[in-house]
A and B are shown apart, each in its own frame.
Chain A
Amino acid sequence: GIQVEQSPPDLILQEGANSTLRCNFSDSVNNLQWFHQNPWGQLINLFYIPSGTKQNGRLSATTVATERYSLLYISSSQTTDSGVYFCAVRSRYNTDKLIFGTGTRLQVFP
């Protein structure tokens, strides 16, 4: 099945810093979503972005489907950005299930 790898696995930042999280996938996809899992375990949908670029406040994401990767940019990080960031993809050859990546654990310190 499709493999989804995220990097870096862990990231420690001081408040105000910028960061880039990467998601690589091993096959063609027709659905890619980024999620933030907060320290209480709640998964929040950040972006639905199978291709192109989107921005939402301090967050933006870019997916280059032909090269099989996606990037999540966090600017001016805040302590509330802490948690685990997952990308999840759906293979264009498969059913409706989203396959989650390994995650990037972000800690933002004041």
Chain B
Amino acid sequence: GAGVSQSPRYKVAKRGQDVALRCDPISGHVSLFWYQQALGQGPEFLTYFQNEAQLDKSGLPSDRFFAERPEGSVSTLKIQRTQQEDSAVYLCASRPGASEKLFFGSGTQLSVL
């Protein structure tokens, strides 16, 4: 596709519910990143993939957060037993192998009630 695509655009979950957020990177982009952005804050790093390998997951806030990219393209961020503090915008970004520039999707706004 022309850009990084994320779905759903908005997600409302009840506390304790599991959610799955999808990211379709730009075709051919090797690296994929997930960021979390709280209201009024800058994006904070969650995890990073190079192809299907998860090279850095140091930013995942708890073991309720899990990310995968099984075939090296589409990625899913899963949050189990959601809590109110998980409410944020979740941003996905991708980068081609030969460039340092990062391209972001529009994000998924998660609200946990």
Contacts and interface: CB of A to CB of B under 8 A. Distances in A.
Majority-rule SS of B interface residues: strand
Interface residues of A, number: 22
Interface band, chain B: 20 to 34
B48 A97 contact: yes
B101 A97 contact: no
Interface string A14-32: 0000000000000000010
Interface of A: 31, 33, 35, 40-45, 48, 50, 86, 88, 95-103
A100 B44 contact: yes
Given A43-B91, A45-B101, A45-B103, A95 B43 contact: no
Given A48-B101, A86-B43, A96 B55 contact: yes
Contacts of B103: 45
13 contacts: A33-B100, A35-B104, A41-B107, A42-B106, A45-B102, A48-B100, A50-B100, A86-B43, A96-B33, A96-B48, A97-B58, A102-B41, A103-B41
